[in-house]
Structure 1
Amino acid sequence: MDKKAEIFNCGRELFLSKGFKDTNISEITKMAGIAVGTFYNYYSSKEKLFFEIYIKENEKFKKRIFESIDMDQDPVTIVRKLVGQNISAMNSNPILKEWYNRDLFRELEHYYAEGKENDDSIRSLYTGLLKKWKAEGKIRDDIDDELLPAFFDSLAYIDSHKEEIGIRHFPQLNQYLAEFIMKGLTDFQK
């Protein structure tokens, strides 16, 4: 196995078991059997390694969603299932859960905003579905295409403040809000 793949695999294993914050480069290199300097031949920082691992985890998750959901169902049902699976993945995968790490979230958000791997984000899944449904007349056509995904983006921001709102209400609150958003986008007076 090449060194970069070994660093990636060891980093993934440590991020899964210890989380981003509690994993350091020296642990990754020790597990990989390489010197710390060798790490920097492949990754400029722990964050860059983590972002690459995060993207791969996100790709696997997105693929599982596509395989498990019948995309011909009505938009409300599809979004209800997507949000449910997203919440489940975030709670069960420590790497994906880092999206809610306030310190790391801004960097991940910036990474996606720069356009790197943007087509692999869950946001791109929602955006694509919303555009498709809009073109098919299944959702409102009076809302700008750039505003549509912002409704779902707001769920991530709300979820990142769950402590202030009350943890006992999550994830049910996000599921209801997603359902209310979709009903508002689909059940309207023409």
Structure 2
Amino acid sequence: MTHGSLIWQTEKDCKMQTDQPEQKRQRRKDARPSEILEAGLALFAERGFAATRLEDVAKRAGIAKGTVYLYFSSKESLFEAALKDRMVSTMEGVSELTSSFTGSTEELFRLVLGRIYGQMIDGDAGVLLRILIGEGDRFPDLIALYREIALAKGMTTMKGILKRAEARGELRVPADEIDPRMIVAPIAILAIGGKIFGAQSPGDRDEFLERHLDLVLRGLLSANAGR
């Protein structure tokens, strides 16, 4: 190897060593919002909304106290981000599924409710519902956030499924006569109950889902739906 090529190789090695820490820092920075969100949800579950402080969230996430404020200006903004990440994103995924799905409404409901159960029961979105019910009277802005960004999206999504079923001739009654909240209400009951009384066993959860599906399908769909 010539002297010139040796210098070039040394400079290249130095640059690679310099770039690697920078890349790691960038990946760490990009991951921080989700890490903070996870830490916040864990503390919300343990302490509730009122007793959770952003500095405690920062400590749980393993970052400096001031760093959390670069991403979330308040507990309310952290709660809003959690609503969007855990609830709104799920309903957006359901909307995309509904728009492209070609099967029967029964098949669609099975997929949709299974997906929502996965997030609300198996995931930690139920923590948010518990806060809304248990502390909503003290924090009305949280209720307003839920109605504005989560409930509205969920109801619009369910209405879309009902309108699709109506267009296919699979509904027993007109879609506009059905309250979409009745479709998802059992999920909230199970999610909140699990957070208060302890997690359901997989068998109990699956049985509850099947009973829920039976109630929805028998109540909403015509006898010849999907045929």
TM-score scaled by length of structure 2: 0.58
Query: 5+ unaligned residues in a row in structure 2: which ranges?
Result: 1-25, 47-51, 137-141
* 2:215 aligned with 1:180: yes
Number of residue pairs matched by the alignment: 178
In structure 2, C-alpha distance between the alignment counterparts of 1:109 and 1:135, rounded to whole Å: 34
* 2:127 aligned with 1:98: yes
1:41 is displaced (CA, Å) by: 9.4
CA contact (8 A) 1:55 1:120 kept: no
1:99 is displaced (CA, Å) by: 4.0
In structure 1, C-alpha distance between the alignment counterparts of 2:175 and 2:150, rounded to whole Å: 26
In structure 1, C-alpha distance between the alignment counterparts of 2:107 and 2:207, rounded to whole Å: 15
- 1:116 aligns to what? 149
Equivalent position amino acid for 2:111 in 1:
K
Equivalent position amino acid for 2:44 in 1:
F
* 2:159 aligned with 1:127: yes
Q: Deviations over 1:13-65 (max 9, x none)?
A: 3135x2424353113344442438x8399533x24312212312334434555
Match of 1:8 among 33, 36, 56: 33
CA contact (8 A) 1:10 1:28 kept: no
Over aligned residues, Cα RMSD in angstroms?
3.9
Match of 1:85 among 115, 118, 141: 115
Distance 1:63 1:42, change over 3 A: closer
Q: State the identity as a percent.
A: 16
SS in 1 for 2:149: coil
Equivalent position amino acid for 1:156 in 2:
I
TM-score scaled by length of structure 1: 0.67
- 2:54 aligns to what? 25
Equivalent position amino acid for 2:164 in 1:
K
* 2:74 aligned with 1:49: no
In structure 2, C-alpha distance between the alignment counterparts of 1:112 and 1:66, rounded to whole Å: 18
- 1:61 aligns to what? 90
Query: 5+ unaligned residues in a row in structure 1: which ranges?
Result: none
In structure 2, C-alpha distance between the alignment counterparts of 1:117 and 1:158, rounded to whole Å: 17
1:73 is displaced (CA, Å) by: 1.2
Equivalent position amino acid for 1:183 in 2:
R
